[in-house]
Chains A and B, each alone.
Chain A
């Protein structure tokens, strides 16, 4: 592999640098699109981010120069493809400060990573009367697999509630996490409220009772530095496509001793060591969990996304998003009646800002904004239990990333003003 991204492997992340958004925007070809006669204002990165040219090129280059199946061919292309695929795994391990690449299992996405965990670790370790602790702000991807597991096993789901400000309410945490708790799973950053949860603090509580700690990092991994050791988690899941990478790639980080004790998820090629008619043994980590031909090209291109993020610096990204989110909340607060969900202060908050209008349904908001070229998300955001807690059927959500700027927030706010005139006169 000889992509531009690879040449930058040794670059050290810059510290305390302002993002040069104009330069960043020039790296994203899609931002030149016009939508319904307006320049695209893409405020839906929490659903899926856009991709820089380096990622798009890495994908093309892989198919042009290196494409082959991995781990079994003995020819040059197979070696190149295998090398590139495994290079991304090593890079991911470094990106989240895992001990070794063997702790990185590649999946189709966060959802598959969590299902893998529920079907392997969960099947093996959860029994009748055991307790699984979730929070009220989980995405369905980090709730339904555990709910299903609890149904199968006769286990009990307990939940950490949220405060009116949109933080986790930890006042009863010592009752909720107790000696019957086997697993505690907490979203690192809420896709609806934007809240960044105190994973390390909750993990410490869980550890006191010997419980396993899982965190859904789908929103956090794109937005801030991730250190799985500082977080104190046993498992951490996230997706490439929300962090400038291709769709169809997810990551399950797991501590080696836990992954080793787990049974395989899927069975077939690649995941075996030896197969006889009367005996099958499993491959070593992480291949035990990666049956069949994986999503090679997208994994290879994910490496370029990680490079792009590292070149910007995750700390810089986090700081930039905080500033932009504070500005968005300030501007949105000007709109009469508009209700913003989640924390107002941006210290423990990411760049997903959900809001509701007292009179206009989120789907009408989204359709109206789309006619102005503005892409937001409207609906329950795959968090129906949270919607119930908030007393909403749906919200509109604007989410920001490295290529968004204040002028786009202004465009959103002006369009929302026009919307009131359009629907309410």
Chain B
């Protein structure tokens, strides 16, 4: 197996892909956000239950490639139980990391570190980004207008 393939499909990524975390639907959610990459056909739905300033529970439903599914699963695992401020910081760090910006990666990122390998595959970066951009939009939207219509985002430009 070529090393770059295993760089992208790290064991941790395949593990998340085969058994995605946060896949249990929530009885009620305060934050809803949709992501859609029409060119890939990746679709993601992020639902979050909020308690005070904590993201108490999260449901991620992703239909797409291994990278987008694993990224969504890692997102669910990472943000559950964290505060808005913490989650916003992590999401921005992951976004920057995937885009190849020079950022300091904090220690508490856990499995997310495995996403770094995706950078070697430029066409797949948008797959890894989708969950995070969808989350960021959901949080922003919730802060601006908690009762408003749910946002819908994409990480690909039209072909």
List residues of chain A with CB under 8 Å of any chain B CB.
36-37, 360-361, 363-364, 367-368, 371, 379-380, 382, 384, 387, 392-394, 422-425
- Point out the residues of chain A lying under 8 angstroms from B17, CB to CB: 423
Find out whether the CB atom of B65 lies under 8 angstroms from the CB atom of A364. Answer: yes
Pairs across A and B, CB under 8 Å, 11 listed? A37-B2, A361-B64, A361-B65, A363-B65, A364-B65, A367-B5, A371-B5, A379-B40, A380-B41, A392-B41, A393-B41
Instruction: Given A363-B40, A371-B5, A394-B41, decide whether A423 and B124 contact each other with a Cβ distance below 8 A.
Output: no
Known A-B contacts: A361-B65, A387-B41. Give 18 more (CB < 8 A): A36-B2, A36-B4, A360-B66, A361-B42, A361-B66, A364-B65, A364-B67, A379-B39, A380-B38, A380-B39, A380-B41, A392-B41, A393-B43, A393-B63, A422-B9, A422-B14, A424-B18, A425-B18
- Point out the residues of chain A lying under 8 angstroms from B4, CB to CB: 36, 371
CA distance A368 to B8 in the complex (A): 10
Partner of A363, one of B2, B43, B127: B127
- Point out the residues of chain B lying under 8 angstroms from A364, CB to CB: 65-67
Find out whether the CB atom of B124 lies under 8 angstroms from the CB atom of A371. Answer: no
Instruction: Given A363-B65, A422-B9, decide whether A393 and B2 contact each other with a Cβ distance below 8 A.
Output: no
Closest 8 CB pairs of A and B: A393-B41, A361-B65, A371-B5, A371-B2, A363-B65, A394-B41, A36-B2, A364-B66
Residue interface mask B5-22, A partner, CB < 8 A = 1? 100110000100110000
CA distance A425 to B9 in the complex (A): 13
Question: Interface centre among A364, A392, A422, A423, by most B CB within 10 Å?
Answer: A364
Find out whether the CB atom of B127 lies under 8 angstroms from the CB atom of A368. Answer: no
Instruction: Given A361-B65, A422-B9, decide whether A367 and B40 contact each other with a Cβ distance below 8 A.
Output: no
Q: How many A-B residue pairs have CB under 8 A?
A: 53
Residue interface mask B55-86, A partner, CB < 8 A = 1? 00000000111110000000000000000000
- Point out the residues of chain A lying under 8 angstroms from B28, CB to CB: none
List residues of chain B with CB under 8 Å of any chain A CB.
1-2, 4-5, 8-9, 14, 17-18, 38-43, 63-67, 121, 124, 127, 159
CA distance A368 to B121 in the complex (A): 12
CA distance A424 to B17 in the complex (A): 9
CA distance A387 to B65 in the complex (A): 17
- Point out the residues of chain A lying under 8 angstroms from B43, CB to CB: 393
- Point out the residues of chain B lying under 8 angstroms from A367, CB to CB: 5, 8, 121, 124
CA distance A379 to B43 in the complex (A): 14
- Point out the residues of chain A lying under 8 angstroms from B64, CB to CB: 361
Q: How far is the CB of A176 from chain B (nearest CB, A)?
A: 28
Instruction: Given A363-B127, A393-B40, decide whether A371 and B18 contact each other with a Cβ distance below 8 A.
Output: no
Nearest residue, chain A, Cβ from B38? A384
CA distance A368 to B4 in the complex (A): 11
Nearest residue, chain A, Cβ from B17? A423
Q: How far is the CB of B49 from chain A (nearest CB, A)?
A: 29
CA distance A168 to B11 in the complex (A): 45
Q: How far is the CB of B88 from chain A (nearest CB, A)?
A: 29
- Point out the residues of chain B lying under 8 angstroms from A379, CB to CB: 39-40
Partner of B66, one of A380, A387, A423, A425: A423
CA distance A422 to B5 in the complex (A): 11
Find out whether the CB atom of A394 lies under 8 angstroms from the CB atom of B40. Answer: yes
- Point out the residues of chain B lying under 8 angstroms from A37, CB to CB: 2
- Point out the residues of chain A lying under 8 angstroms from B67, CB to CB: 364
CA distance A371 to B3 in the complex (A): 9
Q: How far is the CB of A396 from chain B (nearest CB, A)?
A: 12
CA distance A364 to B66 in the complex (A): 7
- Point out the residues of chain A lying under 8 angstroms from B39, CB to CB: 379-380
Q: How far is the CB of B41 from chain A (nearest CB, A)?
A: 2
Nearest residue, chain B, Cβ from A37? B2
CA distance A135 to B86 in the complex (A): 52
Nearest residue, chain A, Cβ from B1? A371
- Point out the residues of chain B lying under 8 angstroms from A361, CB to CB: 40-42, 64-66
Q: How far is the CB of A4 from chain B (nearest CB, A)?
A: 39
CA distance A361 to B127 in the complex (A): 12
- Point out the residues of chain A lying under 8 angstroms from B18, CB to CB: 423-425
CA distance A360 to B17 in the complex (A): 10
- Point out the residues of chain B lying under 8 angstroms from A393, CB to CB: 40-43, 63
CA distance A169 to B38 in the complex (A): 27
Nearest residue, chain B, Cβ from A140? B159
Nearest residue, chain B, Cβ from A387? B41
CA distance A272 to B71 in the complex (A): 58
Find out whether the CB atom of A368 lies under 8 angstroms from the CB atom of B5. Answer: yes
Q: How far is the CB of A181 from chain B (nearest CB, A)?
A: 30
Question: Interface centre among A361, A394, A423, by most B CB within 10 Å?
Answer: A361
CA distance A384 to B159 in the complex (A): 11
- Point out the residues of chain A lying under 8 angstroms from B2, CB to CB: 36-37, 371
CA distance A398 to B26 in the complex (A): 41
CA distance A305 to B17 in the complex (A): 45
Q: How far is the CB of B47 from chain A (nearest CB, A)?
A: 21
CA distance A379 to B124 in the complex (A): 13
Nearest residue, chain B, Cβ from A371? B5
